Each structure stands twice: as C-alpha cells, then as structure tokens.
Amino acid sequence: MDAHSEFLKKLLEEVDEGVYFTDRQRSITFWNKGAERISGYSKDELLGKKCSANILVHIDQQGQPLCNGMCPLAHSMQDRQERTANVFLHHKDGHRVPVRVRAFPILDEKQQVIGAAELFQDSSEKAALRSRLEELQEMAMVDALTGLVNRRFTENTLQAQLEELKRFGCPFGIIFFDIDDFKALNDRHSHRVGDKALKMAAMTLQKNIRSIDLVGRWGGEEFIVILRNASRQVLGIISEKLRLLVEKSVFPENGEPVAVTLSAGATLATKEDTVQSLVERADLLMYRSK
C-alpha cells in the first residue's frame, strides 16, 4: 500500500460515519471505527466475511431482506452508479438501527469494477437523544434496564399532551405495545435472556420513532409510544412499522436465535380523555389485537 492510500485509510478510520469496502465477491476488506460503533461489530469479526452472509441483515422499509439479493452496494457494482437508500441494519445486540447508506463502485486503473464502498450513518438522532437521557437520568426519570423514560415520566408527558389538546387543539395519539408470550420466553430461557429481549425491543422502538415522539417503558413487558401531531393514518403506519422492526430483530443465545413479537393498540386522544381513560382504551385495543 502506498503512502497516499495509507493516509486515506487512516483518515477514514476516524470519521463518524461507518465506512466499509468490499471486493468483487462482496467480501469485506475494510471496516472502520464508525462502522464498529454504529453496528456493534468489530473489524476482527467482519474482515474477510461476505456482506451477503447476512451478518448485518439489512432490511428495507417493507421488512424485506437485502443482503442475499441486490442490495444498494451490489447494484452499484452492477451499474457503476452511486446510490443512496434508507435501510435498517441489525446491531450485534439484536436491535434495529435506521441508517442512511451511500454506495459507490470501486474501479481500477482500467475502469474495471473491483469492488464497492459503502458509507452509512445512524439516522436516529442519537446524540441529541443521549444528551436528553443523561438529563433525565439525573432526575430519576429513566428506566434502569432499558434506558427508556420510565412510567412516571410517560404519565407526566401524557398529562401535558392532554392539556395542550384541550387548550390549543394539538392532536396526538398513543400506541400501547406488549411483548407476546413474554412469560414463556423467561420460562424457556431465563430472566437474563428476558431482560436482553426487553432491551432489544426497547432500543428498536427508541431508534425508530420520529424525533418529535417519545417511547417509555410502562411496566413489565409493556411500552407506550406517544405520537405528536398524529392522525389515524399516521398511528397505523408507525405502529405497523415499529411492530415489524421488532419482529425482525434477533440476538443469539447458546447458538439459538431469540426473537420477540409485539401486540399493539393505537388510539387518538380526545378532549374528554384522562391519562387513565386514554391508556385503558389503547390497552383494550392491544388485547383485542392478540
């Protein structure tokens, strides 16, 4: 490797974006620190592996797998065009991370395709979220296990949103999520594995809500998502998106994949609601969905 190439690789090692290169067969030849941070996978775990081996298990907005077919990187090698896409990668810990990817073909001096490069960026507004969560932790408003805001903070937010609805007509809705058959998961594996499943579901929900929305742990295996400026259509679309992303999340335990599914109940708030009536209505809708 010449000095110029060495300098470029050192530079790419330090950028915030995830960067990786593959050869023509889609074997990973470079994996930077940004990629390690965003995905949870070290370079030692991925160098020499084929991205088509489904390690990152990219899926598209419809939940369709990309790694075994024509992903953005494979398309770029085929038609020599740069392309961008919004996809969801599978973090090593199991949860889903929304990423914006940019793929480029790599050409040799004869303009022959010899591989591809992909840059990817966590699009979950993580830095702002981390700062806010640190503030809430100091106020004892964060659930210790999942890192989500706790029931107390969620109730306070619901009360504030109801007051805004009554005074200013600001619409909002909630989605009540419950992990299906959670007791059976604990009985089959252990409470330690159950805790990992809770954290996986929580992180997938947290990273894939809109920046104006909030997700909190209500209790046990229950979560509430508060959606501001929501319509019935928005509730349905986001509810199904989050349900699907959790269903597509998985982590290994003793060589066996562990996954969970969610049941959901979604409802718009009315001016006649209290926190109790709103949550009870969403809870009832969730049980009907089971």
Please say whether the beta carbons of 212 and 162 come within 8 A.
no
Q: How far apart are CA 288 and CA 215, in angstroms?
A: 22
DSSP alpha helix (H) spans, the chain: 3-14, 33-39, 43-46, 72-79, 126-138, 151-168, 182-188, 191-207, 232-247, 275-289
HSE, side-chain direction, 13 A CA sphere, residue 199: 15
User: From the candidates 17, 36, 221, 222, which is the catalytic residue?
Assistant: 221
Phi, psi of 150 (to 5 degrees): -90, -175
Please say whether the beta carbons of 113 and 107 come within 8 A.
yes
Instruction: Please name the residue that has the structure tokens 């089959």.
Output: 188
Annotation marks residue 221 as catalytic: yes
Q: Which two tokens stand for residue 234?
A: 């928005």
Q: Which two tokens stand for residue 155?
A: 């109730």
Nearest-CA neighbor of 40 among 186, 207, 192, 214?
207
Q: Which two tokens stand for residue 239?
A: 């509810």
Three-state DSSP class for residue 15: coil
Phi-psi region of 273 (alpha: psi -120 to 50; beta: other; left: phi over 0): beta
Active site residues: 221
